[in-house]
Amino acid sequence: MNRVVHPIEQESYRRLRARLDTSHFPPLSRAVVERVVHSAADLEYASDLVMDEGELAKAHAALHAGAPVVVDVEMVAAGITRRDTVCRLKDAESGPGLTRSAHAVRLAYEQVGPGALWVIGNAPTALEELLTLDAAPVLVIGLPVGFVGAVESKAALRGSGLPAVSNVSEKGGSAVASAALNALLYHPVPQPDSQSEETS
């Protein structure tokens, strides 16, 4: 993706890297860490985030091949630039034992099927519902925020074995969830020539 970076953003990243050494992270993990830290101005995310570089690489390839992106709320959608997303919250209804956010996840899965990237930054119940489905996600960015259910839902995500980006603490939110997706969206796609040169 060709993207013009504003000088203010360039300076912001320069200052971030002056205060936080991210050089030990592999490329995609570093991109996610830096963009999440940048979005929240919170250096603690560098040690709070949990992810796997191999899973990120597969998600990066799928994202750039056109895999659908599902979000739990419109605030997450608003933060994801240059990519259409699916959000079914407006169509969802709460019911006994089912929140609107959870119902929206069911509706979204009915729409997109397996192989999507799921970005959850608001509702722990949305993440909990996703884990009950056979959604076969390419990646789950599970960064819901809050003091009730957020830590537990993210721990359950890590325990599920699904490819994921999560964090350990109560922190999270729409801005950091969309930032994690944008990190993959903005990261360059390897060119065939460079791949052949690396393997030769």
Contacts of residue 119, Cβ cutoff 8 Å, sequence gap at least 6: 69, 70, 71, 72, 76, 80, 85, 141, 177, 178, 180, 181
Residue 38 is among the residues annotated as catalytic for this protein: yes
Element (H, E) at 118: strand 117-120
| Residues 156, 132 contacting (CB under 8 angstroms) | no
Q: Which of 24, 38, 60, 64 is catalytic?
A: 38
Cα-based angle 73, 41, 137 (whole degrees, multiple of 5) = 40
| Active site residues per annotation | 38
